[in-house]
Amino acid sequence: MFPFKTMLNLERNSKTPLFLQIANGLIENIRTGVIGEGRKLLGTRAMSVVLEVHRQTVVAAYDELLAQGWIETRRSSGTFVRRKLLQFSPIALNKDALSSAPKIETGFALRHAQHLALPLLKGSTALSFDDGFPDTRLMPSDVLARAFREVLKKGYQKNLLFYGETKGELSLRLELVRFLNETRGLNITTDNIMLTRGSIMGIYLTTQVLVEAGDNVAVSTLGYGSGNLVYENKGANLILIRTDEYGLDVEHLAEICREKPLRMVYVTPHHHYPTTVTMPVARRLQLLKLAQEYGFAVLEDDYDYDFHYASSPILPLASVDTQGFVVYVGSVCKSVSPALRIGYVVAPAQLIEEMGQVRRIIDRQGDNLTEAAFALMIREGDFKRHLKKAQRIYHKRRDLFCELISTTPLSAVLEFKKPAGGMAVWAQFDPQFPIEKLSERAEKKGLKIANGKAHGVNAVRLGFASSNETELELGVNILKTCF
């Protein structure tokens, strides 16, 4: 028999009750294999004598072991450690050697129904003409940190530390409603808005409630790849619509409408992604008319409305949609920082309700705290101040960048139209020009640019917003030496 008294080493003065000390001690010895599988334990009476405790204390300890399944009682023959128990000890308790864990494949079969792989654009502190990301050095970090602390301080009283609404924190919905009504000519209430995490979640939720497998979803031939993945993932057929110098070709869309039913059309009218052009008013009106005539939804993605440099920007489709055909998606990821995962969907209240139901099973809700902190930043005017500042700076950077890339030898191979807004130039290279090589060479010299494979044409987006003027000059100088 085992030296239980020594093994268990009970402490009479401990806060842990004796019965628990006994149970824990036995478990430890069983788990480590000291008391082997199938071994018989002392009876409760004998054990109580050995341990010098009350018999009821041992009974309570054995009850605990029994409940947890470490031991079993066989009628009239006693109490035993369960067989096959040690299979249940962890594989190895290796605290720090993180790389040493065994490579385990899944036991069950995997199916690869969907291919969602597509290059991910990240952005970084490295010198780069990226996809059109903001300069996060302009982010009012101090203000955000203060707002976050402020919100946390009142978090309990304001019910911000609990589960909240799937539609998002009310204070931010309210501030965004005001902001959007004022800047975009929308006319919405807090029932028409749901906070999301970036535009992509707005696209995802819209697709979940509107699109079913087999539905036709129309997108631009030159369009937003991640969006397309969302529709395809839901089982939709992608219908490709021609793209020209004014964005999605609505004449072509009209032809398609006569041929087959469409469930949804995805557009980026303000600055077409990736080509940056603005869809003219006449074409917008025609698009809305088609939606009304054929009953499809228009998913308007207005990812960088806040940055427009030429004249007044045209108001979004959503501002004139009196009949509920437009779902409007936006985000502050491009306005402030991709790390501030706050976006929104604007739609008829009924649709927002349905999105809330879907949201609930995805991640239940947004971040109350971050949302409330950002609401504070809007209310205090910090967001608008930031936008004004960034708009001024990006405007200058656009002008400088366009000037820089208009000079030889770049101008000989690269054609572009100065974008009216946004954060990138759509650079079209001569059909024979090897963008991939340019990209490789530039990267070796310290400048990242896309390799021209993202959009199926010999063109890349060159983001100018995230680089300051020195960096823009440095970057273009590198480019000039790369071919």
Q: Give the footprint of its own copies on residues 159-218 (CB under 8 A).
A: 159-164, 166, 174, 177-178, 181-182, 185-190, 192, 196-198, 200-201, 204, 210, 212
Dist CA 234 CA 148 (whole Å) = 36
Cβ proximity to its own copies, 40 vs 178, nearer residue: 178
Q: Taking the mean position of all CA atoms in its chain, how far away is CA 186? A: 26
Q: Give the footprint of its own copies on residues 92-151 (CB under 8 A).
A: 92-96, 98-114, 116-118, 120-125, 133, 136-137, 139, 141-142, 144-145, 148-149
Report, in Å, the least distance between residue 83 CB and its own copies: 9
Q: Give the footprint of its own copies on residues 280-319 (CB under 8 A).
A: 280-285, 291-292, 295-297, 310-312, 314-315, 319
Cβ proximity to its own copies, 70 vs 416, nearer residue: 70
Cβ proximity to its own copies, 326 vs 410, nearer residue: 326
Q: Which of 10, 240, 320, 474 binds its own copies (CB under 8 A)?
A: 320
Q: Give the footprint of its own copies on residues 250-279 (CB under 8 A).
A: 263, 278
Cβ proximity to its own copies, 252 vs 359, nearer residue: 359
**Cβ–Cβ under 8 Å, residues 459 and 414:** no
Residue 425 phi/psi, 5-degree rounding, is: -105, 140
Q: Which of 70, 129, 266, 401 binds its own copies (CB under 8 A)?
A: 70
Cβ proximity to its own copies, 121 vs 402, nearer residue: 121
**Cβ–Cβ under 8 Å, residues 339 and 197:** no
Give per-residue burial for 395-419: e unless 16+ CB within 10 Å, then b.
bebbebbeebbeeeebeebbebeeb
**Cβ–Cβ under 8 Å, residues 361 and 354:** no
**Cβ–Cβ under 8 Å, residues 172 and 147:** no
**Cβ–Cβ under 8 Å, residues 438 and 414:** no
Binding mask 440-479 for its own copies (x = CB under 8 A): ----------------------------------------
Q: Is the dihedral of CA 26, 31, 33, 39 positive or negative?
A: positive
Cβ proximity to its own copies, 252 vs 284, nearer residue: 284
Give strand ranges (E) for 242-308.
243-244, 247-248, 264-267, 297-301
Provide the terminal-to-terminal Cα distance of the chain, rounded to the nearest Å: 83
Report, in Å, the least distance between residue 115 CB and its own copies: 8
Report, in Å, the least distance between residue 379 CB and its own copies: 13
Report, in Å, the least distance between residue 207 CB and its own copies: 9
Binding mask 337-366 for its own copies (x = CB under 8 A): xxxxx-----xxxxx--x--xx-xxxxxxx
Dist CA 236 CA 207 (whole Å) = 9
